[in-house]
Structure 1
Amino acid sequence: MLDQSQDQDDDAPIDTLEGYYAAHGWDHDRHDDEIIASVKGSWATYELRALWREDDSVLQFLAFPDIKVADDRRAAIHEVLALINEQLWIGHFELWSSSGILLFRHAAMIDAGGDDEPRLSLAGAELLVESAIEECERFYPVFQFVLWGGKTPREAIAAAMVETQGEA
């Protein structure tokens, strides 16, 4: 957790994310209005990509869980995406048709109000990043059950969403 006294409310959205990544020691690369970071999760290393569209005041955030879907598994993945996405409060998973890459995406509209420049608070950056990572972590096993475990989308969700009680 970051020190809230280091709040970066005065920074532009990409600057705030860059500071957030640096504070966590995550590898990242910045190119103008885009920043890419690499974060190791429990299941995979996630590529996090944020793009700032100043004209629209929208920060688009993408998380790639390093899953590529073969053509013969796309129908099953589309079904599981529909089942997963109806459970999500913000953001959604999607499959890029041209490459078969699976990703999580959401966007934040950041309006400064008045004549000020749009700003992303440190708390906003944390919510944006951590919610994407949490959803990728939560549903990664579902995708693996469908792609490699031979389960139907409904079976995969049921198997992956079982809550364990206690410790082994």
Structure 2
Amino acid sequence: MTTLNTEHSEVILHNPVDIVEELAAANDWAYERQGDDELTLFISAQYTDLQMRIYWRDDFKTLQFACIFDLKVPPVRQRDVYQTIGRINERLWIGHFEFWAEEEALLYRHASLANDPLIGAIGEEHIATIIETAVGECDRFYPVFQFVMWGGQTPDQAIESAMLECAGTA
């Protein structure tokens, strides 16, 4: 068994939710601050409005993003949506999709650790990249969920249809 050396100099971490609030103001995004460690952004994406909830856990030095679609999953399609999520998550490098059954909500979620002394605190560039990635992945896979829930396609058919890349110009 390998033992890791965790001795390092102390890194002062600032609350990254403050940085998210500054980014929201700079980008004219509507937002609500629920407390010192929580904020919700309201972002219009390509296909739908997104509600991005950001949570800071100081005890774990972790910033979590949960990007919720403005889309309810009908109970009759939940099994297909779970299968779709599994297929999509196989393709992702960062973050993952989930279904919160209690809220019937579909979301993209990602967490970043800020406890590495070589990296230091989570900064503005890092947060901007996470937000861009979350919105990008939601835009990329929203049609897949639409095809499964309302188009009657299987998860594999929906992914193939939505991931079709066009060549040339019209």
Q: TM-score normalized by structure 2?
A: 0.87
1:133 pairs, out of 115, 132, 135, with 135
Matched, 1:22 2:25: yes
1:69 aligns to 2:35 (yes or no): no
Amino acid at match of 1:14: V
Letter in 2 for 1:125: I
Aligned-partner residue type, residue 102 of structure 2:
S
3-state SS, counterpart of residue 72 of structure 2: coil
State the one-letter code of the partner of 1:76.
Answer: D
Cα 1:55–1:11 shift into 2, 3 Å: closer
Paired position in structure 1 for 2:153? 151
Q: Distance in 2 between matches of 1:127 and 1:152?
A: 32
| 3-state SS of 1:145 partner | helix
Give the paired residue count: 157
Q: Please give the alpha-carbon distance, in whole angstroms, between the structure 2 residues aligned to 1:157 and 1:113.
A: 40
Write out per-residue CA displacement over residues 104-155 of structure 1, whole angstroms, 9 at most, x where no aligned residue.
Answer: 00100112639xxx73211101111010000000000000000001111100
Aligned to 2:3: none
Unpaired segments ≥5 residues, structure 2: 1-12
Unaligned runs of 5+ in 1: 1-9
Higher-Rg structure is 2
Structure 2: which amino acid aligns with 1:60? Q
Shift of 1:12: 2.3
Aligned pair partner of 1:31 in 24, 34, 40: 34
Give the one of 92, 108, 119 matched to 1:104: 108
Large movers: runs of 4+ above 3 Å: none
2-structure distance, mates of 1:36, 1:62: 9
Cα pair distance change 1:30/1:167, threshold 3 Å: same
Partner of 2:8: none
1:60 and 1:84 mapped to 2: Cα distance?
Answer: 20
Could you tell me how far 1:99 is from its partner in structure 2? 2.1
Shift of 1:42: 0.9
Selected match of 1:51 from 27, 52, 55: 55
- The 5 A counterparts of 1:8-19 are 11-19=14-22
RMSD (Å) for aligned C-alpha atoms: 1.8
Partner of 2:98 in structure 1?
Answer: 94
Q: Which amino acid aligns with 2:135?
A: I
CA distances 1:8-59 after superposition (whole Å, capped 9, x unpaired) = xx85210111111111110011122101011111100111110001111111
Distance in 1 separating the partners of 2:103 and 2:25: 30
